[in-house]
């Protein structure tokens, strides 16, 4: 009798342990799912849903961090405001789905061409923002701007109803340099935005946020060199 009672008690303990392990495993799975969902929600809140690039919130956070680092190390950084020229024509000619496909293709090119320490984000619509950290001189910024324009100008080969179309885009870039053109994230973005309009109106490719004769740095204009600038094939 005692042996049977001990056996039953042992079986009860084993069953209890099995139940506890099962419950603990279930809780662990639920916690992992909750953490994954939270990370997914946070990622979605900080990235553009169409392109997967960082959005304004994440870009601003990184820019503010970059400014703090630049102050600490007495270095400079740059913000480039990139606007696609005549993007509305793509939507009007091929439709918004094609326009979205072009945006995603260009975003992929920009992301692949970004240095590890830098950030490219979709500001909204057909506008992008670049954060260039640890810049040594303006010539380095100009070199990167040229590469960005080249990446954007490459044909976007797309298949529409079994027909291949290759829309080509151009862009205008405004560049603001910290600390010269602004001491805060908002001021730098505003200065870069204003410089972008200078580049767009002059069809110069890109322009630095400066006043006076030396403000404009002409590089690209519809595939050719600009007087006073450098040729489109410059390194």
pTM of this structure: 0.74
Nearest to 134 by CA among 74, 76, 68: 76
Q: Each residue's pLDDT tens digit in the chain (235 positions)?
A: 656 666 767 677 777 777 778 777 776 666 665 555 565 556 668 899 999 999 999 999 999 999 999 999 999 999 999 999 999 999 898 888 899 999 999 999 999 988 888 999 999 899 999 999 988 888 899 999 999 999 999 999 888 777 788 888 999 999 999 999 999 999 999 999 999 999 999 999 999 997 433 444 444 333 333 333 333 333 3
Separation CA 218–CA 58 (nearest Å): 31
Separation CA 20–CA 30 (nearest Å): 15
Active site residues: 126
Phi, psi of 63 (to 5 degrees): -65, -45
């Amino acid at each position: 009798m005692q042996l049977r009672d001990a056996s039953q008690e042992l079986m009860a303990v084993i069953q209890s342990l099995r139940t506890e392990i099962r419950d603990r495993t279930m809780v662990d799975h639920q916690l992992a799912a909750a953490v994954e969902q939270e990370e997914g929600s946070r990622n979605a809140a900080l990235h553009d849903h169409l392109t997967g690039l960082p959005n304004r919130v994440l870009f601003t956070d990184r820019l503010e961090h970059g400014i703090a680092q630049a102050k600490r190390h007495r270095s400079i950084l740059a913000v480039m405001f990139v606007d696609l020229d005549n993007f509305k024509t793509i939507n009007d000619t091929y439709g918004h789905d094609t326009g979205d496909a072009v945006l995603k293709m260009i975003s992929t090119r920009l992301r692949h061409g970004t240095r590890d320490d830098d950030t490219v984000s979709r500001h909204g619509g057909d506008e992008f923002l670049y954060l260039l950290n640890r810049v040594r001189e303006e010539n380095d910024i100009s070199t990167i701007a040229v590469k960005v324009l080249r990446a954007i100008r490459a044909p976007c080969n797309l298949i529409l109803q079994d027909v291949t179309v290759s829309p080509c885009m151009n862009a205008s870039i405004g560049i603001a340099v910290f600390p010269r053109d602004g001491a805060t994230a908002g001021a730098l973005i505003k200065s870069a935005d204003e410089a972008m309009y200078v580049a767009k109106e002059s069809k110069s490719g890109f322009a630095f946020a400066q006043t006076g004769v030396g403000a404009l740095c002409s590089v690209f204009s519809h595939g050719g060199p600009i007087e006073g600038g450098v040729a489109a094939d410059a390194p």
